[in-house]
Amino acid sequence: MTQIFQGLISDMPEEQRPREKAMSCGIKALSNEELMALIFATGIKGKGVVQMCREILDDNKGHISKVAAMDVREFTTRYKGIGPAKALTMLAALELGFRSAADALLVRDPEIRDASSAYEYMRQYLENLPHEEFWILLLKQNLKVKKAVQIGRGGLTSTAVDVKIIIREALLANTPHIMLFHNHPSGNLNPSIQDKALTDKIAGAAKMMDLRVPDHIIIGGGSYYSFHDNGLL
């Protein structure tokens, strides 16, 4: 069993220190708790940094995404002894990693040909939010991304959406395809009656302007619901 050390990372045997391990084996060789320990650098009173990070991960069933979804207040409330500065450092590092992964998609300039590729592209904007947002993804004729646009931001269960703004954005961008996205913070991906009615309204308005709405995707809980794949578009 790996010995749990307390205090500074420098108190650990050299071969077990995250920094030295990263230098000799590469950053990808580190476990999640070792990466977190490298960011935190020190533990809290009575608890070593690696043990502290392990307990944070255990509290979230090993899901680093659940840690990333917290705000500073929740983080410091749940994990006594960790102050705002340490919490901000960790959350900033996790957010930067998330943005890096999202940027990698932009660099590849992918074609959005199905719900899965659309979800992977748009999850950067909508995953793990504590409130609802509504976005559109404007696609070129070859189904490559022209731009993503936030249309509405609301509360826990709804957000206002102006259909005229959606159509205007598509016409100004001179793009033929509009994909719709919103999130369900609850993680329940089933579309509501209001979701279905709004989708029909947008699709109808788009058709009048010779625009196509290939899908409406609901994001939440690390997954998605596709109107197209479920026969609703």
Would you mind telling me the total number of residues written for the chain in this entry? 233
Residue 88 is assigned to a structural domain of this protein: yes
pLDDT surpasses 90 at 12: no
Residues 128 and 98 in one domain: no
Rounded CA-CA distance 213/90 in Å is 39
Q: How confident is the model at residue 134 (pLDDT cuts 50, 70, 90)?
A: very high
State which of 65, 85, 103 marks the end of a domain: 103
Rounded CA-CA distance 70/77 in Å is 11
In tens, the pLDDT along 151-208 reads: 999 876 668 899 999 999 999 999 999 999 999 998 899 999 999 999 999 999 999 9
State which of 103, 125, 159 marks the end of a domain: 103
179 touches 217 (CB < 8 A): yes
207: domain range? 111-226
Residues 76 and 153 in one domain: no
Residues 117 and 98 in one domain: no
203 touches 213 (CB < 8 A): yes
Residues 124 and 213 in one domain: yes
Query: For residue 106, what pLDDT is reported?
Result: 64
Residue 1 is assigned to a structural domain of this protein: no
Rounded CA-CA distance 85/44 in Å is 13
In tens, the pLDDT along 104-130 reads: 666 667 789 899 999 989 988 898 888
Rounded CA-CA distance 174/108 in Å is 22
Residue 15 is assigned to a structural domain of this protein: yes
Residues 61 and 147 in one domain: no
Exposed, middle or buried: residue 109 (CB in 10 Å: 0-12, 13-18, 19+)?
A: exposed
Residues 87 and 115 in one domain: no
Residue 39 is assigned to a structural domain of this protein: yes
Query: For residue 65, what pLDDT is reported?
Result: 82
Residues 81 and 123 in one domain: no
State which of 71, 103, 135 marks the end of a domain: 103
Top-confidence residue, 44 or 145: 145
Residue 4 is assigned to a structural domain of this protein: no
In tens, the pLDDT along 37-70 reads: 888 888 888 788 888 898 999 999 888 888 888 8
Query: For residue 26, what pLDDT is reported?
Result: 84
Instruction: Count structural domains, the chain.
Output: 2
CATH of the domain at 122: 3.40.140.10
The mean-pLDDT minimum among 89-103, 183-197, 216-230 falls in 89-103
